[in-house]
Structure 1
Amino acid sequence: MEEYIVRSAPEKGNFLEELFDEFSVNQEVESICQNCSNKISKSESYFDDDELMERLHHFIGEQLTSKIEGCQFCSQPSEIFTSMRHGGFFDEEDDVEGMIDDLDTSIEVGQFIYDQFDLDSIDEIVKSMYCPVCGFGSGPNYDEKIDYGFFDEFSEIYTKESLDEFDERFYGEIEEIEKEVSLLANELTMEELVDLKDEYIQNKLYVSQNKAFLRLEEVIKSLYEKGGYYPLASGRTIFRTRTMALGYQISELPSDDNLWEPPYGVSGHGRYNDIGVSVLYCANNLDVLQEEVPLDQGKEYVYAKFILSKTLKMFPINFVFKRGKDKQSDFDGLISQPSKSDSKSFRIEYIMSNIVAAICSEIGYNGIAYKSTKCPESINYAFLRFEKKIELTMVEVFK
């Protein structure tokens, strides 16, 4: 859910925040979660209400419905396929069904749910979806005395992207087909951003005078002023890990200075911090941490659990750095490249994300929310500006 919102609809972060406020319960004593068997710390929030899942399923259905632009009963491809089958355009020996299979870009509802939310088909979600064009899937309409029925996981739908792909297959290559365009695509070209990256390497001190830097700064500033941030809600639980020498002694206190961000001047080059700059990296789940942090021989993982005491404004970088106007404009690649070096020294893959982090910190964002490059369904956080133990509190250290 969170990965979808950060990637595609950060403005819907308010929905999660409101849902959290309405249904979360503050734990008074340490206990065990009945769903996943993980420990719930004292003062940590948890959920104990079936209505929460109903609301989440309905929300997912609404989000998916908003992306549907046709179905198997009303779309242009469906009309074309019907004509191909029954219009008398082909000889008996022609493999019409094979032609249709090659042209068809429809998506089954179950696959659509999985692609967007990484969830297997859930009946409550399927029943919350319908085709906005013809109404199929919306159930009985008693005013019109029509029953539009319901989707099942094998119902076929079309999105803008799949209709565009059909046009390319059926009509041939169409240069002017609209694609999902990054917020940056109308302001900056890939060439300008690559030049900015090169100038950073050559002369970091003067990069802020670069015209592309100034336009990038203006895009991010404008987004911030319009409320374009992902609200990481007060009460949320997040996690962090560090590797320590085997046998590391865990303090009986709920906090450990070694699990906070490294002091200024100590850190290596990170995705959102320059060498020596202090940034706190966390994740929305425990499982991704071992993927993100390699374990050297003679070391062990030590984890920290944090709780937010205030909603923080996070820059949704994957929402901004998306596909450009053409297939060559891979804005996402500029900020999501895996590092090719294990060294803590300078890493060229982190330059653009370092530039973005510096701008975000100056403008007022508390941090950056971004998809993990190791585990794409997980969300990581780089906290740039926050008050330790006031806005973000460490509540438990464990192995």
Structure 2
Amino acid sequence: MEDAICLDCLGLNETFNHLEKNLESMINYVKDLERYASIFDEEMFNKLLDNNYRKTPKILCSKCKNEIGYEDYFLRRESLVPFLNEVCKIIGEGVSRYIQFCSNCELIKEFNAFNKIIEVEKGQVSKDNGQSVLEFLYGFDIPEDYNKYVLPNLQCRCCGIGQDESVTIKFNESFLIYNDDDLTDYLSVDIDELSQYAEKYFINLKKIELTNFSSFLRNYPMLGMRHTAAEKLYELFTKMYEEGEFSIIENLKLYRGRTRNKGTEKFHSKQMWNPPIGVSSHGRYNLVGSSVLYLTDNMDYIPAEVNYIGSQELDVATLIINKPLKILDLSQMY
């Protein structure tokens, strides 16, 4: 048999070790793998014996020339590609457990916008730029030739790419992978200073409460006010307002930006207000679908905020504050 390929020559042993799985064992109970794999069993032994009765039947791998053992699985060339398609689905699902965020996530887009603003303000360039998806796959010893089979089967645990059928976008080589460590500074809260500020109003905010609240919000954003820390924070903000701990802005120009494709019609002034309910993506202040108007007093920040790229047009609206606005300035706490 000249077209046989042993499982070792697929180069996936280390990959499955990372995933704490065994390829041969997977073939035994995954029908979509088993139907493309061949096995050197008694039936095949007798068939080869009938064809060449003078010699003990042997099957050699066409790549490494090693003998394929009795009861071992192997592949034939015509079954190689469909088998790889199926096995890479399993690999994609396995490595996806380690994809916490990707460059498609709204949180990451906000994170990158935040970093750009810090760069403009302070000249600090972030080192947390994510990991290319190809480097990520390389970390699991996936042969480079198989990337094209694995990429469409990757799933992001945050935004739903790959697992949510309503999301038609698939992973490609341009994607970046992020984890919690990349976002530590961005997501962290200076808990000690916040707790000390709350004591001013005789509100006891424990460090463990705030830490748990941060995790709780990521998993259950719609139930935030059910948490004890949320009730205490609401009480704190109310007392800050009652004590006049807010800023007043008036006679000030603020700006809002929106991107559009080149060659398309410029946005009308009525389209530069807050988006309609049900349209907006997740933001710093709003959940998906909530209508919130984001403004800045510095036009330089707008390209970073709206993820502007050179192939787009950028429309900027100027809003003038005619009546005094009371602003709860949370930066007072830090």
| Larger fraction in helix | 2
Question: If each structure's strand is expressed as a fraction of its own residues, which one has the higher value?
Answer: 1
In the superposition, the TM-score normalised over structure 2's length comes to: 0.38
For normalisation by structure 1, the TM-score amounts to 0.32
Higher RCO structure (Cα 8 Å, ≥6 apart): 1
Q: Which has the larger radius of gyration?
A: 2
